[in-house]
Chain A
């Protein structure tokens, strides 16, 4: 049944892929391949890599000149290499899995704090019924949040991923607001299914706000251990769009490549396929991406490299880094990360990534 299902999905995908190439392309201004060529390209990718290339148009492979499929790493191969390299590591003669240090947001935050790296402050650990406040070291009922006037935090599930289980919460005039809507403690309790951290909100740098003010626009920087040395792989910045309060690319945000050497943005920002194409300016703020310089970017790279040295059991990490007035702040580190934006914005991604896999 599964055997039959996969070819059907592939055929359906090809049909949808070819129905209106004009609307799917990221490069309408360039000369592009015919439908037959696009079809053959995708067939070739499928047979070679046993996967549908969902990023065919994103990589600009429909262009007639200047691109080569072989310059891009298939998702399946990437995922396989990533899983193997970030699996249990040999440290001190014993095998151990270190990815938990990244997966658990409480442990991650505390580990960084102990090492002296900037990260949003965790002020409490909570569950449905109770909350441990770290300033008083006391366990209180969840309702004690209301006694903290001016509280402006994110509640995040410990093992949440991709902005899942993240709840912005505020206390004003003794009332509780969730995503700017007033709610009761009871309704918050219904939302909290698992153990969560209560983390202070990041106030981003005024220059980063110019990009788009309604979301915290974070840098995604991938670093990797290559023969014992930590090196940067590729970086993008993500911004929200159209009132979106998160910068998540998979939720419709924009990703813009960053030149690792200068910290300047590249010419184009890109949407995820299905949300839009490429663009030179932010659609809401009108800010031109090219040559926009990220403040503190050299510190971002230096800190990420230094920090990765303390995660010696994880081969590659994609860091989510916010920029505040006082410098970078590490929001998350991801052991399972997607390469689509990082590969699209950096042509050397495949070569650099593969060169760090010496097994």
Chain B
């Protein structure tokens, strides 16, 4: 049944992929392959990697003089290799899975804080019933939120991913605002289903706001353990668009590559296939990407590589870093980071990643 379902999905995908290639392409001005060639390219990818290549157009594989599919790592293969290296640490004959250090936002925040790395302050732990304030070490009812006037925080689910379960909370004059809409404590309680952290909001650097002011535009920097050293594999910036308050690519945001040496953005940014194509500037602010210099970028890279030393059990990490007026702030670390955007910008990314993978 599963096999039949997969075959039907594959056929549907191929059909939608080929229906109108010119509407899918990221390179409308380049000479492109014929429908038949695109069809065989995708069929070949499917047979070779047992997966649909959702990023065929993003990688520019429809161009006649475009890349070679062999330069790109299939998502399934990448995830298998990444997880094999990230999920098990072996030391002295003992094995351990260290990923809770990154996946649990409370543990991550506390660990970074004590190691002296900048991260937004966690002020409480809560669930749908009560809230434990870390400053007083007291567990109180949810109403205690209102007693803390002028609070401006995010409530985030402990294990949330991709901006899932993130709520913006504000209190002012004894009133409670959830995502800028006034709500009652009872309504908030109904929204909070799982264990969450209450974390102070950060304000990004003025220059980062110039890119797009409504979201905190974060850097995704990938570091990896290579022998006894920590190296950087690549970096991009994610930027919100069209009034969105998050920078998530899966939610429609735009990304742009960052030159690791200089901290400058590349010429063109990319949207995910469902949200757009290529762009040289931000669609709302008009800021031209090329030559936009990220403030404190060298410090962000230096801190991320130093920080990875304390996550010795995880081979590669995708760090989410915001830039504030005081410097970089680590928002998250992801052991389950994804490769497509990095590959789309850097044809040698596959080679770089495979070169640092632990042998065996």
Enumerate chain A interface residues (CB-CB to B < 8 A).
91-94, 96-101, 103-104, 106-107, 110-111, 113-116, 132, 137, 157-161, 165, 193-195, 306, 309-310, 312-313
Q: Among the listed A101, A194, A313, which residue makes an inter-chain contact with B92, where contact means beta carbons less than 8 Å apart?
A: A194
Q: How far is the CA of A99 from the CA of B89 in the complex (A)?
A: 13
> A residues within 8 A CB of B110?
111, 114-115
* Shortest beta-carbon contacts, A-B, top 7: A114-B114, A92-B194, A92-B159, A114-B110, A94-B159, A92-B158, A194-B92
> A residues within 8 A CB of B313?
100, 104
The 13 listed contacts between A and B (C-beta, < 8 Å) are: A96-B99, A98-B100, A100-B97, A100-B99, A101-B107, A103-B94, A107-B98, A107-B111, A114-B111, A137-B116, A165-B92, A194-B91, A194-B92
> A residues within 8 A CB of B195?
91-92, 312
Number of A-B contacts (CB under 8 A): 87
Q: How far is the CA of A193 from the CA of B194 in the complex (A)?
A: 42
In the complex, how many angstroms separate the beta carbon of B93 from the nearest chain A beta carbon?
Answer: 9
A91/B92 in contact, CB under 8 A: no
In the complex, how many angstroms separate the beta carbon of B196 from the nearest chain A beta carbon?
Answer: 8
Closest to A127 in B: B228
> B residues within 8 A CB of A193?
92
Say yes or no: is B274 at the interface (Cβ < 8 Å to chain A).
no
> A residues within 8 A CB of B196?
92
Check A97/B92 contact, CB under 8 A, given A91-B195, A114-B110.
Answer: no
Check A159/B91 contact, CB under 8 A, given A100-B96, A107-B111.
Answer: yes
Closest to A130 in B: B228
Q: How far is the CA of A91 from the CA of B103 in the complex (A)?
A: 11
A100/B100 in contact, CB under 8 A: yes
B100/A159 in contact, CB under 8 A: no
Q: How far is the CA of A165 from the CA of B91 in the complex (A)?
A: 12
B104/A91 in contact, CB under 8 A: yes
A96/B159 in contact, CB under 8 A: yes
Check A100/B92 contact, CB under 8 A, given A91-B195, A113-B114, A114-B113.
Answer: no
Closest to B122 in A: A114
Q: Among the listed A110, A113, A158, which residue makes an inter-chain contact with B91, where contact means beta carbons less than 8 Å apart?
A: A158
B158/A101 in contact, CB under 8 A: no
Q: How far is the CA of A313 from the CA of B195 in the complex (A)?
A: 11
In the complex, how many angstroms separate the beta carbon of B125 from the nearest chain A beta carbon?
Answer: 8
Closest to A89 in B: B100
Binding site of A, secondary structure by majority: helix, strand, loop or mixed? loop
Say yes or no: is B137 at the interface (Cβ < 8 Å to chain A).
yes
Q: How far is the CA of A100 from the CA of B314 in the complex (A)?
A: 12
Check A93/B100 contact, CB under 8 A, given A111-B110, A159-B91.
Answer: no
Q: How far is the CA of A104 from the CA of B98 in the complex (A)?
A: 9
Q: How far is the CA of A111 from the CA of B110 in the complex (A)?
A: 7
Say yes or no: is B115 at the interface (Cβ < 8 Å to chain A).
yes
Q: How far is the CA of A255 from the CA of B157 in the complex (A)?
A: 42
Check A96/B104 contact, CB under 8 A, given A113-B114, A195-B91, A306-B137.
Answer: yes
A96/B91 in contact, CB under 8 A: no
B104/A195 in contact, CB under 8 A: no
Q: Among the listed A103, A110, A194, A313, which residue makes an inter-chain contact with B111, where contact means beta carbons less than 8 Å apart?
A: A110
In the complex, how many angstroms separate the beta carbon of B109 from the nearest chain A beta carbon?
Answer: 9
Check A91/B159 contact, CB under 8 A, given A100-B100, A306-B137.
Answer: yes
Say yes or no: is B312 at the interface (Cβ < 8 Å to chain A).
yes
In the complex, how many angstroms separate the beta carbon of A326 from the nearest chain B beta carbon?
Answer: 19
Say yes or no: is B216 at the interface (Cβ < 8 Å to chain A).
no
Check A195/B312 contact, CB under 8 A, given A93-B159, A107-B101.
Answer: yes
Q: How far is the CA of A160 from the CA of B103 in the complex (A)?
A: 24
In the complex, how many angstroms separate the beta carbon of A160 from the nearest chain B beta carbon?
Answer: 7
> A residues within 8 A CB of B97?
97, 100
Closest to A107 in B: B101
Say yes or no: is B28 at the interface (Cβ < 8 Å to chain A).
no
Say yes or no: is B160 at the interface (Cβ < 8 Å to chain A).
yes
> B residues within 8 A CB of A114?
110-111, 113-114
Q: How far is the CA of A116 from the CA of B135 in the complex (A)?
A: 11
Q: How far is the CA of A91 from the CA of B99 in the complex (A)?
A: 14
Contact code string B156-174 (vs A, CB < 8 Å = 1, else 0): 0111100001000000000
Check A98/B104 contact, CB under 8 A, given A91-B195, A93-B157, A111-B111.
Answer: yes
> B residues within 8 A CB of A99?
96
A111/B160 in contact, CB under 8 A: no
A111/B107 in contact, CB under 8 A: yes
> B residues within 8 A CB of A91?
104, 158-159, 194-195
Closest to B103 in A: A96
Interface residues of B in 167-198 (CB under 8 A from A): 193-196
In the complex, how many angstroms separate the beta carbon of B236 from the nearest chain A beta carbon?
Answer: 26
Closest to B161 in A: A94
Q: How far is the CA of A159 from the CA of B89 in the complex (A)?
A: 10
> B residues within 8 A CB of A98?
100, 104
Interface residues of B in 217-273 (CB under 8 A from A): none
In the complex, how many angstroms separate the beta carbon of B199 from the nearest chain A beta carbon?
Answer: 14
Q: How far is the CA of A111 from the CA of B313 in the complex (A)?
A: 16
A159/B92 in contact, CB under 8 A: yes
> B residues within 8 A CB of A306?
137
A92/B96 in contact, CB under 8 A: no
In the complex, how many angstroms separate the beta carbon of B180 from the nearest chain A beta carbon?
Answer: 24
A93/B91 in contact, CB under 8 A: no
Contact code string B110-135 (vs A, CB < 8 Å = 1, else 0): 11011110000000000000001000
In the complex, how many angstroms separate the beta carbon of A342 from the nearest chain B beta carbon?
Answer: 24
> A residues within 8 A CB of B114?
110-111, 113-114
In the complex, how many angstroms separate the beta carbon of B159 from the nearest chain A beta carbon?
Answer: 4
Check A104/B96 contact, CB under 8 A, given A114-B110, A114-B114.
Answer: yes
> A residues within 8 A CB of B157?
92-93
Known A99-B96, A110-B111; further 15 A-B contacts with Cβ < 8 A: A92-B195, A93-B159, A94-B103, A96-B100, A97-B100, A100-B99, A101-B101, A104-B98, A111-B107, A114-B114, A159-B91, A159-B94, A159-B96, A160-B92, A195-B91
Closest to A309 in B: B132
Q: How far is the CA of A48 from the CA of B299 in the complex (A)?
A: 64
> B residues within 8 A CB of A157?
91-92
Contact code string B195-207 (vs A, CB < 8 Å = 1, else 0): 1100000000000
Q: How far is the CA of A167 from the CA of B101 in the complex (A)?
A: 27
Q: How far is the CA of A310 from the CA of B91 in the complex (A)?
A: 26
> A residues within 8 A CB of B101?
100-101, 107
> A residues within 8 A CB of B132?
309
In the complex, how many angstroms separate the beta carbon of B317 from the nearest chain A beta carbon?
Answer: 15
